[in-house]
Amino acid sequence: MWAIILHGGAKDIEAEEADANREGCLIALAAGRAVLERGGSAVDAVEAAVRQLEADPTFNAGYGSALNADGEVEMCSAIMEGAEFKIGGVTVIMGVRHPISVAKAMLEEDTIMLAGDGARRFAAQMGLELCDPAELVPPEQKATGTHDTVGCIALDETGLIAVGTSTGGLDGARPGRVGDSPQAGCGFYADNAVGAVAFSGDGEEIARKMLAARVMHALDPDDPERAIGEAIGHVAELEAEAGGIVLTADGRFGWLHNSREFAVAYQSSAHAEPRVYLSKQEERR
């Protein structure tokens, strides 16, 4: 079997943004699903899905990322696979079109994370697409005032599970700031024997409470959502917001959030049609 779940961020989604969030998630899901349906790897599926989210200014990742206090785009991204625990991460990277592809290239390195100019130089050495940092700012970019990050988890037919995250961080953040998204055990984790998880939301609190590690330790294959709910309870205590997605080793989905909305799409080889929701409440209706 194969399965894929992704999210477009824990955030407020206004009525006029609803269609763009739904469509963006479905387009990204289709890109990842196409890889899995043709027998491709979970790592390639995660990259394909996250590249779509990074290309869509609806989401705070890649093109349309949040602007830091200097009005610049600094991005973070990571990818992890659950067989050999390979991790690739980039942080405070500028002037690349697809941070997730740079993170994926890092999977083949001993180094697990590169920052700033070193990360961009690595992208250039790998022949990945560079751009003028200003090209990542859409003409009508508005400060969202909300946090979000994109994330995706895929399970392929060989049983490999992979997770990816990508974010432009927080609007107005101090230049050089790093949140949870590139930090293993905080914003993401994957282990073929257990499953994988990805978070979005207030990065400092997610990192302080190591939400991904908590979920991996507590994940019940019969009730995957419970571990997400307990983890979110730890940031809620700090009056912070988060949303998380999880996929178990046998392909069961779970997701929850305490943000107002959290756009999520998922599908498996057992579902003929993809599902997309802007909140858990909508899924439960």
Which residues does the annotation mark as catalytic? 146
Rounded least distance, CB 17 to ligand GLY, Å: 19
- How far apart (Å, rounded) are the C-alpha atoms in residues 34 and 200? 25
- Of 107 and 212, CB closest to ligand GLY: 212
Rounded least distance, CB 31 to ligand GLY, Å: 22
> Hunting for tokens 């101090």 — which residue is that?
174
- How far apart (Å, rounded) are the C-alpha atoms in residues 259 and 20? 18
Rounded least distance, CB 180 to ligand GLY, Å: 5
Give the helix ranges, DSSP H, for 38-137. 42-55, 99-106, 116-125
Position with the least CB separation from ligand GLY: 203
- Of 105 and 170, CB closest to ligand GLY: 170
Buried b (16+ CB within 10 A) or exposed e, 23-38: ebbbebbbbbbebbee
Binding site for ligand GLY (CB under 6 A): 147, 149, 167, 169-170, 179-181, 200-201, 203
- Of 60 and 268, CB closest to ligand GLY: 60
Q: In degrees, to the nearest 5, what angle opens at C-alpha 76 toward C-alphas 73 and 82?
A: 160
Rounded least distance, CB 245 to ligand GLY, Å: 13
244: β partners: 199, 256
What does the block give as tokens for 232? Answer: 């979110």
- How far apart (Å, rounded) are the C-alpha atoms in residues 49 and 250? 21
- Of 170 and 215, CB closest to ligand GLY: 170
